[in-house]
Structure 1
Amino acid sequence: MKITRTLASCHTPDGGLMVLQEHDGQHYLKIGGVQLMSTTASASEQTMAELACGGMPATKPRVLIGGLGFGFTLRRVLELCPANAIVDVAELLQEIIDWNREHLQSVNGLLLDDPRVQIHRSDVHALLDGKQRYDAILLDVDNSPDPLVQKGNARLYNRNGLLRVKAALQPKGRVVYWSANRDKHFAESLGRVFKKVECVGAKAYPQAKKFTHTLFVADRE
């Protein structure tokens, strides 16, 4: 019988217990006992990257990823980006950055040292200050528009947050939000800020029969 090992743990800013575990060669991240992500289910993160990078400039694109997680979104973005791209990654929790380097090198941890990557130990909201414009923004900072990791993430999904994201995009730029569920009200809010909005179903596993996640895609004119 293969055991589940707890590799590391910490508390989130809201006081929830976050645990990194390994079982049979796979890794799992849980908050308050709820599984937030795993290395067995990364198809939706890869789809997110493909949607975000679809209309990106061929040279010198700049991309912002909100939420490092296990690095699957980052890996696919780097696969799609040219050598002169700049990829900013905002991660609120230092522990997530450290765990990628210490425990997840065999997953995607080594990508943190890619010369195109700039890791910011910061709330992604702070990077959306309009000082830097992005060709693509990928926001996978929480479980859905109804936050699980940190209540403060809710400000990314309200009207002011959407306007802040829009202002940080280049003309023709694109933002993609990852969500564990389909949120009709959030889609409507997006439609009031962005002219072109699409809700795309995403699978957790390539072989899955159902779309269990939702990717909200919005383009700036």
Structure 2
Amino acid sequence: MKPNITLAETKAPNGARMTLVEHDGSYCIRVNGQQLMHSSVSSSEIKLGELGLARHRKLNNGTRVLIGGLGLGFTLKSVLEATGGNGTVHVAELFPEIVAWNRTHLAKLNGHLLADKRVKVLEEDVRTILAKAVRQPFDVIVLDIDNGTTAMVKTENIELYSERGMQLIFRALKPGGRAAVWSACPDVTIERRLTKAGFKVEAVPAKLYETAKRFAYMIYVADKPVEEVSPKKAKG
């Protein structure tokens, strides 16, 4: 049996040990030894990008996309495949180490995509980017931050999925825009909060890998009306 090889490691803001591990040509990122993502089970990340770009596939209209979370680059791959030549894909990744891992250890996996002229890497908190986007909103926002609503890396990430976080996403989209949010499990609270923010929401099951018999994850596809309706004010 081939051994697991630790290629790199860093510490998360909460002190957790985050490692990049390779085994027999596959890669995974672990947090305190627990698998956060793996290159052999990337079907849901790919589907996330496909669903997010479904309305804008191959349109040469300067589509602006924001991806929250780089990870192993599979969502970026599917987004780029669907984005027109004059589109722009902003990738928000809080950890410079993950960006560096993609450019080096993961270059042959998906890291080489960071050199695509349409890609702009933003090493900052996605919430900061969303707040600034009110002035120049996106057509599509695709979110796969941390472990969905169950934060493993940064506790503050939970705030992104709060009512205020959903409203922030709503305001950061153009009228008629779409958000796609990855969740590790069905989450009626997220669905309710997206709806309350003003979105029309569809819950789409996703598999671990293409040939899996069961669905493991959920992707929430949230469409903003063309005619904007002000969301209800959050109580807290």
Report the TM-score when normalising by structure 1: 0.97
**Aligned partners of 1:84, 1:189: CA distance in 2, in Å?**
33
> Which digits, 9 at most, give the CA deviation of each residue in 1:142-167, with x for residues without a partner?
21212122111111111111111100
> Which digits, 9 at most, give the CA deviation of each residue in 1:36-71, with x for residues without a partner?
101101110111111100112722100000000010
**Aligned partners of 1:148, 1:188: CA distance in 2, in Å?**
23
**Aligned partners of 2:135, 2:97: CA distance in 1, in Å?**
27
Partner of 1:49: 49
SS of equivalent residue, structure 1 residue 47? helix
> Which digits, 9 at most, give the CA deviation of each residue in 1:79-117, with x for residues without a partner?
111110000000000000000011001100111010000
**Aligned partners of 1:38, 1:194: CA distance in 2, in Å?**
34
For 1:154-173, list aligned pairs within 5 A: 154-173=158-177
**Aligned partners of 1:45, 1:4: CA distance in 2, in Å?**
23
Contact 1:56 1:173 in 2 (8 A): no
Mark the runs of 5 or more structure 2 residues left unpaired by the alignment: 226-236
Partner of 1:100: 102
SS of equivalent residue, structure 2 residue 148? coil
Equivalent pairs, count: 221
Partner of 1:4: 4
Contact 1:194 1:218 in 2 (8 A): no
**Aligned partners of 1:12, 1:51: CA distance in 2, in Å?**
30
Counterpart check, 1:81 vs 2:83: yes
Which runs of at least 4 in structure 1 moved beyond 2 Å after TM superposition?
Answer: none
SS of equivalent residue, structure 1 residue 189? helix
Counterpart check, 1:128 vs 2:127: no
**Aligned partners of 2:94, 2:118: CA distance in 1, in Å?**
20
Contact 2:68 2:143 in 1 (8 A): yes
Mark the runs of 5 or more structure 1 residues left unpaired by the alignment: none
SS of equivalent residue, structure 1 residue 182? coil
Contact 1:93 1:121 in 2 (8 A): yes
Partner of 2:19: 19
Report the TM-score when normalising by structure 2: 0.91
Percent of counterpart pairs with the same letter?
Answer: 43
1:122, distance to aligned residue in structure 2 (A): 0.5
**Aligned partners of 1:34, 1:187: CA distance in 2, in Å?**
27
1:190, distance to aligned residue in structure 2 (A): 1.5
Matching residue within 149, 155, 173 for 2:153: 149
**Aligned partners of 1:43, 1:194: CA distance in 2, in Å?**
29
Amino acid paired to 1:210: R
Partner of 1:194: 198
SS of equivalent residue, structure 2 residue 174? strand
Q: Note the aligned Cα RMSD (angstroms).
A: 1.0
SS of equivalent residue, structure 1 residue 7? strand
**Aligned partners of 1:213, 1:111: CA distance in 2, in Å?**
25
